[in-house]
Structure 1
Amino acid sequence: MELTRRHALAGAAALAAAPMLRAMPARAAAPMADKQAPSFYRYKVGDAQVNVISDGVNNFNLPDTFVLNVKKDEVNAALEKAHMPKDKMSIQFAPLVINTGGKLVVIDTGNGPAAYASSKGNVGQFATNMAAAGFDPKAIDMVVISHFHGDHVNGLLNAEGGPAFPNAEVLVPAAEYKYWMDDGEMSRASGDRMTGLFKNNRRVFEAGLKKKVTPYEWGKDIAPGLMAVESIGHTPGHTSYVLSSGSDKVFIQSDVTNLPALFVANPGWHLMFDQDPQLAEKTRRKVYDMLAADKMRVQGFHYPFPAVGYVEKDGNGYRMIPAPWSPVI
């Protein structure tokens, strides 16, 4: 459009009136909100429905040894490249409720009610967000656990220390259960973190659930359309899953990787929480080569919410591409 003298004069008049507009009192339509809406997201895999239920976000200062085999400066550079603040870490948690059409299946349970209280609601949100999504914990048929870290098992118990899903069968990886319930392994544990994990797992599975669990093996369907897949390294019995319905499927990777900006992009980086870092790297590369080749959707427990997307090769590493958000299911 051609700029004329009349347009220029009109613009100058508008600028001159601007100070008078600023002097007018502001009238807010409503007070500022003080909390987020409940965080859940649904999508279909064939006839099954996946409900991603956020357990919140843990924010903490970046430890010097968060990545064991890389200097902190390199980690900070990767964070800044991903537009994240350096020296800070934000880890998200995304348990699932899967409606197979005949069963309601929970996969992993988040940090639990004690963490909700101590973090002032930052984590431990699974129970409240699950209720907001319309699920009654008494209606859950099966709870499937991928591995025995606190952010996956603590939500098995309610605030009173009893079962949070009173009518559900609790299924656990046989290799994982054997390791953490072995008195000899517990006696050989060293360091505050490992001794704490053994103590916490005894609290959850022996005192809380009173050993009422069903161990499962890899390579088999443990729920309708849900096959357990060995993905060890993060822990001795760490398990992922393939959910299939018709010709559609999604790979539920549990903790094959942590924060994608660090460990998807750099599969050779060793996370401080991986019990066997070399084996975890081997598993990570094998899984991601398969996902990239098959162009299969992947659901990640620590991916940014709603934590579902695709992985493709990118140089010596990989790149996580979020699945398009859909307003309809």
Structure 2
Amino acid sequence: MELTRRHALTGAAAVAAAPLLAARPASAAAPVADKQAPSFYRYKVGDIEVTVVSDGRNTFTFEDSFITNAKKEEINAALEKAFLPRDIMTIYFAPLVINTGGKLVVVDTGNGPVAKVNSKGAAGQFADNLAAAGFDAKAVDMVVISHFHTDHVNGLLTADGTPAFPNAEVLVPATEWKFWMDDGEMSRAPAGRMQGLFKNNRNIFDAALKKKVTPYEWGKEVAPGLLAVETVGHTPGHTSYVLSSGSGKVFVQSDVTNNPNPFATNPGWHAFFDQDADVAEKTRRRIYDMVATEKLMVQGFHYPFPGLGHVEKDGNGYRVIPAPWNPTI
């Protein structure tokens, strides 16, 4: 097409005006978001679909007593090496939903609705994120508990104290159940945190669930494809799992370590919440040597979300390599 004089003049005027137009301030297309999207992540283990559902996190300043055999400066040096802030610890929480094709199974339940209120929504997110992931709590067939700490069992109840999974069978480690339901153990518990844990567990399992639980043994499948593995020390009946389907396999470690920075990089450090710290350390080294040697995928309850990765030996400790985010299932 032939360029006319009128077209040329119009084009020149537009070019001349361009700097003036560019100088005009831009206006935001939408208001700034003030919260994250619901946090859940799915992957497959053979024919089994796993959904990691975030319960949020707890961030706090710590003192020397947090890790009983390491000084604060040592801990801060480890945090700085991992590009984390000094004097601050963050603990993440990530229950699982396992769809075996025939059963819908929840593994651990998070901090519960009271923690959601007390933390101003930072923790206790499991119920909300469960619904956002498309699951109805009434459709859950089984709830498998790894151990009886509050961040694993308090989500068994709703805010009004009724069962959060009303149609589910609740399965608990037999050794863990025996310890926390023993009146003699309760009477000997030290004042403070341990007495509080006994009271909390009695409230949940005695009052609310009416002891309607099924104890399970180590070395057996507690749900299709979910093998219970003894990993004691953190608590007397602490349990991990091997989830298998076809050629797929993942080690669900529960609380063998807390946040891998610093507890995998420094497996000899004893956290105050390990009930038998010496046994917990031996378990940690045994399990991490095993998963590193066998190159097993590991799912960590307290790993940064979504908590799936590999473990390798790194000097006297271990390094967790997060699995790449997969946009497909």
Same fold (TM over 0.5): yes
- Written as runs of structure 1 = structure 2, the 5 A alignment for 1:13-162 is 24-162=24-162
Say which SS state the counterpart of residue 65 (structure 1) adopts: helix
Cα displacement string for residues 110-154 of structure 1 (whole angstroms, at most 9, x for unaligned residues): 000111111111000000000000000000000000000000000
Amino acid at match of 2:311: V
Comparing 24-33 with 95-104, greater Cα deviation is found at 24-33
Distance 1:177 1:41 in 2: 31
Q: Which amino acid letter does the alignment assign opposite residue 287 of structure 1? A: I
Show CA shifts across 1:242-293 (max 9, x none): 0000111000000000010111101111111000000000000000000000
After TM superposition, where is structure 1 displaced by more than 3 Å over at least 4 residues in a row? 20-24
For residue 229 of structure 1, what is the amino acid of its counterpart? V
Whole-angstrom distance in 1 between the partners of 2:179 and 2:144: 17
Task: Find the counterpart in structure 2 of residue 278 from structure 1.
Answer: 278
Aligned to 1:230: 230
Q: Which residue in 1 is equivalent to 2:204?
A: 204
Deviations 1:180-222 (A, max 9, x none): 0100000000131000000100011001111000000000001
SS of 2:250's partner is strand
How many residues end up aligned between the 2 structures? 312
Q: Which residue of 1 aligns with 2:327?
A: 327
Equivalent residue letter for 1:241: Y
Output the CA distance in 1 between the equivalents of 2:180 and 2:285.
26
Match for 1:77: what amino acid? A
Give the partner amino acid of 1:96: L
Q: Distance in 2 between matches of 1:63 and 1:139?
A: 43
- 1:181 is matched with 181
The 2-side partners of 1:135 and 1:175 are apart by 30
Please give the per-residue CA displacement for 1:32-52, whole angstroms capped at 9, x wherever unaligned: 001100000000000001100
Superposition CA RMSD, Å: 1.3
Q: Is the 8 A contact 2:64 2:70 kept in 1?
A: no
Q: Distance in 1 between matches of 2:301 and 2:124?
A: 14
Aligned residues of 2:189 and 2:195 also touching (Cα < 8 A): yes
The yes-or-no answer on 1:267 pairing with 2:267 is: yes
Separation (CA, whole Å) in 2 of partners of 1:288 and 1:125: 29
Alignment gaps of 5+ in structure 1: 1-16
Q: Secondary structure at the match of 2:64?
A: coil
Report the Cα distance in structure 1 between the residues aligned to 2:110 and 2:39, rounded to whole angstroms: 14
- Does structure 1 retain, via aligned residues, the 8 Å contact 2:138–2:165? yes
Aligned equivalents of 2:21 and 2:325: distance in 1?
A: 39
Task: Name the aligned partner's letter for residue 185 of structure 2.
Answer: E
- Return the alpha-carbon distance in structure 2 between the equivalents of residues 168 and 224 of structure 1: 15
CA distance in 1, matches of 2:22, 2:35: 29
Paired with 1:308 and 1:21, the residues of 2 have a C-alpha distance of 49
Query: In 1, Cα distance between the equivalents of 2:118 and 2:318?
Result: 36
CA distance in 2: counterparts of 1:188 and 1:247, whole angstroms = 47
- Structure 2, unaligned stretches of length 5 or more? 1-17
Partner of 1:8: none
Counterparts of 1:143 and 1:243, CA distance in 2: 15
Give the SS at the match of 1:116.
Answer: helix
Query: Cα distance, 1:25 vs. partner?
Result: 2.9
Percent identity among equivalent residues? Answer: 73
Q: Say which SS state the counterpart of residue 76 (structure 1) adopts.
A: helix
Tell me how far 1:63 sits from its aligned partner.
2.6
